[in-house]
Amino acid sequence: MLPVPHRIERVRRETRDTFTLELAPVSGAAIFSPGQFNMLYVFGAGESAISISGHPGRPEKLVHTVRAVGVVTRAMRKLKRGDSIGVRGPFGAPWPVDLSEGRDVVLVTGGIGLAPLRPVIYHVLANRNKYGKLVLLYGARTPADRLYTREFERWRRRPDTYIDSTVDAAGRDWTGNVGVVTRLIPRADFDAANAIVMICGPEIMMRYTVAEMQKRGVSLDRIFVSMERNMKCAVVACGHCQYGPHFLCSDGPVLRFDRIAGLFGKREI
């Protein structure tokens, strides 16, 4: 499967190291499910797995939010409007937006992890009466590392959402929460008996989040996590993204927690 060149329509700077690319879909419409990702190819530099962070109901734009961390993503940061980038996809198992209908939707995430969950937020808000409460608990390293801040404020101000955030460290002018995102869980307003929880963040953060959710009484088969492993091909052939029996490019990245409970937390799997 070859990368298909796409034109970059817009580059938006999100934070010091994170930016959003808006591409014009070659076929006219980029159909995807929330949680799916594309392989983005930067000429000569290589490919990276990047989640689609746009609106699933507005397929005329293909949106990705990227944090520059290494060779490919740094090269991606240098791209400008009008440049082209290769796209293969979409790949992967999505967040359980269908299963969540009629229930509270609880999203717990940190840092760049908000990007793969943003399509869920768009989807729930666009189909508001199909879902219960929308809960978003978001952690970032510092106030300046928070993504989508203006949009976040709009989500927060809606009467039908419960939105809370925290940072690991902040200066004196910060009036919000300081501490890990799991601290926001005990007081969050949702019905644990009828909620679907979706978690995207570092493994350690996901472990503590699952533990807190269990304390709240959420059963493990209602918890979904997004796992991360090295990924080269995204078509179940290179072997890199294996997590136990799962190929994260097709069985994941989103996995139902009870299916990996025996692996999760074991070191170096």
Ligand X SMILES: Cc1cc2nc3c(=O)[nH]c(=O)nc-3n(C[C@H](O)[C@H](O)[C@H](O)COP(=O)(O)OP(=O)(O)OC[C@H]3O[C@@H](n4cnc5c(N)ncnc54)[C@H](O)[C@@H]3O)c2cc1C
User: Looking at the DSSP assignment, which residues form a beta bridge with residue 72?
Assistant: none
Residues 198 to 217: which contact ligand X by CB under 6 A? none
Do 18 and 66 touch, CB atoms closer than 8 A? yes
Q: How far apart are CA 238 and CA 221, in angstroms?
A: 29
Write the binding mask 63 to 82 for ligand X: x where contact by CB under 6 A, - elsewhere. --xxx-xxxxx---------
- Which amino acid belongs to residue 254? V
Q: Is 36 in the site for ligand X (CB under 6 A)?
A: no
Which runs of consecutive H residues, i.e. helices, occur in 37-186? 71-77, 114-126, 149-157
Nearer to another protein, 17 or 101 (CB): 17
Q: Is 230 in the site for ligand X (CB under 6 A)?
A: yes
Nearer to ligand X, 147 or 163 (CB): 147
CB atoms within 10 A of CB 203: 12
- Contact partner at residue 37 from ligand X, another protein, none, CB < 5 to 8 Å by partner kind: ligand X
Q: Which residues contact 193 (CB under 8 A, 6 or more apart)?
A: 217
- Contact partner at residue 51 from another protein, ligand X, none, CB < 5 to 8 Å by partner kind: ligand X
The residue with its CB nearest to ligand X is: 70
Minimal distance, residue 67 CB to another protein, in Å: 8
Locate 172 and state its tokens.
């004196």
Q: Is 119 in the site for ligand X (CB under 6 A)?
A: no
Q: Is 87 in the site for ligand X (CB under 6 A)?
A: no
Binding residue for ligand X (CB under 6 A) from 14, 104, 145, 228? 228
- Contact partner at residue 49 from ligand X, another protein, none, CB < 5 to 8 Å by partner kind: ligand X
Summarize as ranges the residues that interact with another protein (CB under 8 A). Answer: 1-5, 7, 41, 43-47, 69-70, 83-86, 228-230, 232-233, 235-240, 242, 244-245, 247, 250, 262-263, 266-269
How many residues contact ligand X, by CB under 6 A?
Answer: 23
Do 30 and 62 touch, CB atoms closer than 8 A? yes
Binding residue for ligand X (CB under 6 A) from 30, 49, 79, 97? 49
Binding residue for ligand X (CB under 6 A) from 231, 246, 251, 257? 231
What is the tally of helices (H) and strands (E) in the chain? 5, 15
Nearer to ligand X, 116 or 132 (CB): 116
User: Looking at the DSSP assignment, which residues form a beta bridge with residue 197?
Assistant: 106, 223
Minimal distance, residue 201 CB to another protein, in Å: 13
Q: How far apart are CA 208 and CA 180, in angstroms?
A: 10
Distances (CA, A) of 222 to 57, 98, 129, 219, 255: 25, 13, 20, 6, 11
Q: How far apart are CA 137 and CA 230, in angstroms?
A: 27
